[in-house]
Structure 1
Amino acid sequence: MPTALVTGASAGLGQAFARRLAAEGHDLVLVARDEPRLGTLADRLRSRHGIGVEVLVADITDDVQLATVEKRVASEDHPVDLLVNNAGIGTSEAFWDVETDTLQRQLDLNVTAVLRLTHAAVPRMRARGRGDVLNVSSVSGFFTVSGSTYSASKAYVTAFSEGLSSSLAGSGVRVMALCPGLTRTEFQERAGLTIRSVPKALWLDADTVVHESLADLRAGKAMSIPSLPYKALVALGRLVPRALQRLIVTRTAPGRT
């Protein structure tokens, strides 16, 4: 059986990836901080699908705990065939109102963990001539969002994944950035975001995002943007000059009249 390692697996997109990959017959390595939720998920997936599930309780913003996950990713005893770098956090406050420790933790999780786990996986995958890395980014990474360190971190993930995908062409190793729009998960609540004005058509279902992203990965795409409305939004955004993007964002930001 192939083995998939999923970070941030206890909820949201990470849990949706775990359910889908288990149903496809993957053995799983589930990584998150929430041990009770991971344990419950692991038991359910083992029972339902008859697969092997390892639980790695780890805060991958911590160097020591991240090193433990890196070691598992790089293991040749039970190789990881698919790495899903899903864990990530956002913030709702203005940049100047956020503590630097919080901003550093966001950078460590959204960027550093993605970089280090991908680096642990790719050399072994290249040596085997096969393997996949799916890095969860965001549509927001395509736009100049006022004061958003989250968008900046996701812009890095997208650019990093696309560049690495090009470098690995012909190696049998695929790397893809998944760039979803607003998805119904716990992410908004954890980030302290209140979003009421977005049309229902722009809200995505986590299982649908996972389905589309895995299809795109297996089709060899370097980037996946689930749903036609978000594909159109990104295409349109690429035609709008950065200066105009900044003007629009500034004039529509909360707190302005």
Structure 2
Amino acid sequence: MTTALVTGATAGIGREFALQLAARGDNVVLVARDVARMEAFAAELREAQGVEVEVLQADLTRREDIGRVANRLASTDAPVDILVNNAGYSLKKSFLDNEVEVEEAVFEVLARAVLVLSHAAGNAMRARGRGSIINVSSVASLLTSGTYSANKSYVSVFTEGLAAELAGTGVTATVLCPGFTHTEFHERADLDMSKLPDFMWLDAPRLVRDALADVDKGKVVSVPGRQYKAFYTALRVIPRPLVRSRSRRAHRPSSD
């Protein structure tokens, strides 16, 4: 039976991945910080789907915790067939207004954890000749919106390179690049999204369903939603000075 490990598994896109993977019969390893919340979710999955669910507490801002998750992925006794690197969060303040320690913490979660966990999973999966790595990035990876965009850009380019390295091994790597999605993400970051038009929002269940279909097809880049497919394509060809000019306007001090 297939086993999937999902980071950031108790909320948002990560929770939806765990739900859908369990629904199709995969055993699941939940990785998050809140043990009580994970245990409650694990009980829900076991009762609803009859699958095995393992709870692995980890704070991915801590390198020793990242190491424990990497060790789980490297296990030969209880192999993991699917890795979903989903854990992440956003910062409300701009880069220079944050303490550098705050920026380092988000870098650990968004970038370094993806690197370390992909390395552990990639080697273990390659040795077995099968497996899938799904790294959740964002269409923001093509923007210049502070360190969130920078970290997600790293995830996108890294995953494309990993996919090339794994070609022909039986292991795939897919980078998922969603846009605005109805989850707890923006509320947790204390971001006011009330002015965003309805057509810009994605539905998490549909997003994950489409992403898993793309993984099954061996796609390297998965962009959910027609609106974001168009946005992603446009951003890849728009001259970078125009992209940067939009960012400069967003960060311009108010005259009030």
Q: CA deviation at 1:253?
A: 4.5
Partner of 1:24: 24
Cα separation, 1, equivalents of 2:74 and 2:59: 18
Cα separation, 1, equivalents of 2:67 and 2:242: 42
Structure 2 gap segments, 5+ residues each: none
Cα separation, 2, equivalents of 1:99 and 1:78: 40
Q: CA deviation at 1:256?
A: 4.6
Structure 1 segment 201-212 matched on structure 2, within 5 A: 201-212=199-210
Partner of 1:250: 248
Q: CA deviation at 1:143?
A: 1.4
Partner of 1:181: 179
Partner of 2:220: 222
Is 1:5 the counterpart of 2:15? The answer is no
Structure 1 segment 96-245 matched on structure 2, within 5 A: 96-145=96-145, 148-245=146-243
Quote the sequence identity (%): 48
Cα separation, 2, equivalents of 1:254 and 1:74: 46
Cα separation, 2, equivalents of 1:153 and 1:252: 19
Cα separation, 2, equivalents of 1:223 and 1:237: 15
Name the CA shift for 1:123/1:199 in 2 (closer, same or farther; >3 Å): same
Q: Secondary structure at the match of 1:251?
A: helix
Cα separation, 1, equivalents of 2:57 and 2:246: 42
Which stretch shifts more, 41-50 or 239-248? 239-248
Cα separation, 2, equivalents of 1:256 and 1:212: 40
Q: CA deviation at 1:190?
A: 1.7
Q: Secondary structure at the match of 1:176?
A: strand
Cα separation, 1, equivalents of 2:165 and 2:34: 35
Number of residue pairs aligned between Structure 1 and Structure 2? 255
**Residue 38 of structure 1 aligns to which amino acid in structure 2?**
M
- Indicate if the aligned counterparts of 1:84 and 1:135 stay in contact, CA closer than 8 A: yes
- Indicate if the aligned counterparts of 1:144 and 1:242 stay in contact, CA closer than 8 A: no
Deviations 1:57-104 (A, max 9, x none): 111221222111111110011100000000011111121111111100
Cα separation, 2, equivalents of 1:229 and 1:253: 25
TM-score by length of 2: 0.96
**Residue 192 of structure 1 aligns to which amino acid in structure 2?**
D
Q: CA deviation at 1:197?
A: 2.3
**Residue 29 of structure 1 aligns to which amino acid in structure 2?**
V
Q: CA deviation at 1:2?
A: 0.3
Which stretch shifts more, 228-237 or 246-255? 246-255
**Residue 161 of structure 1 aligns to which amino acid in structure 2?**
T
Structure 1 gap segments, 5+ residues each: none
**Residue 155 of structure 1 aligns to which amino acid in structure 2?**
S
Deviations 1:95-128 (A, max 9, x none): 1111111100000000010000011011111111
Name the CA shift for 1:254/1:198 in 2 (closer, same or farther; >3 Å): farther
Cα separation, 2, equivalents of 1:29 and 1:70: 12
Q: CA deviation at 1:192?
A: 2.3
Q: Alpha carbon RMSD of aligned pairs, Å?
A: 1.2
Which stretch shifts more, 246-255 or 84-93? 246-255
Cα separation, 2, equivalents of 1:62 and 1:114: 13
Partner of 2:85: 85
Cα separation, 1, equivalents of 2:40 and 2:252: 39
